[in-house]
Amino acid sequence: MKNKSENDRVFKKGSCDIIIKDLIFNDAGKYILTVHYNNAPESQIRTYHLQIHDEISVKKGEPLKLDVLLSNADKVERNSSEGWTEVWTRGHGVDSDRLTDRDGNLTINEFTANDTGTYRVLDSEGEILITVSVTGERRSVDEEKYLN
């Protein structure tokens, strides 16, 4: 790898460090590194799984758009009091009329307090690609007065 890649986000530092700047959800997944030693006849192959963690705060009633349906995503699960439940699976789509699956985005049409929690995206091998913690945004006292 050159010191700088074509997209200016991936850098090689020192002899073995690879740095990815400005991580995006599409960076999540499996990376394979082949290590060649000068005095050894065989190389070593190492596999790394890059997981992306994010936090999002959403106002009640607003749509929540999660850009998480990557080409290697197999399912999306949500953690609730009942444990992990599937909300989207490849080939079957969403499991609720409040959710839509369009253009790589999973959208909750009208966010409610029940939608808060942790969402995770898994690949076909069950490896976690993305984890997103979703909280509801608190309204100011003035907003509450106006709405009531």
Is 72 a domain residue?
yes
Q: What's the pTM?
A: 0.76
Q: Does the CA dihedral 78-123-23-43 come out positive or negative?
A: positive
Q: Are 38 and 72 members of one domain?
A: no
Q: Check residues 44 and 131 and name the one with the higher pLDDT.
A: 131
Token match 């029940």: residue? Answer: 114
Is 106 a domain residue?
yes
pLDDT confidence band for 5 (50 / 70 / 90):
very low
> Coil, strand, or helix at residue 80?
strand
Is 143 a domain residue?
no
Question: For residue 146, what pLDDT is reported?
Answer: 52
Q: Check residues 37 and 126 and name the one with the higher pLDDT.
A: 126
Is 3 a domain residue?
no
Question: For residue 35, what pLDDT is reported?
Answer: 81
Q: How far, in Å, CA of 144 to CA of 67, rounded?
A: 30
pLDDT in tens, 111-138: 998 899 999 999 999 999 999 999 988 6
The total number of structural domains in the chain stands at 2
Neighbours of 25 (CB within 10 A): 19
Question: For residue 139, what pLDDT is reported?
Answer: 59
Tell me the mean pLDDT in the region 77-89: 90
Is 24 a domain residue?
yes
Is 144 a domain residue?
no
Residue 122 near residue 129 (C-beta atoms within 8 A): yes
Q: Which domain holds residue 111?
A: 52-136
* pLDDT over threshold 80, residue 57: yes
Tell me the mean pLDDT in the region 4-8: 58
Question: For residue 58, what pLDDT is reported?
Answer: 92
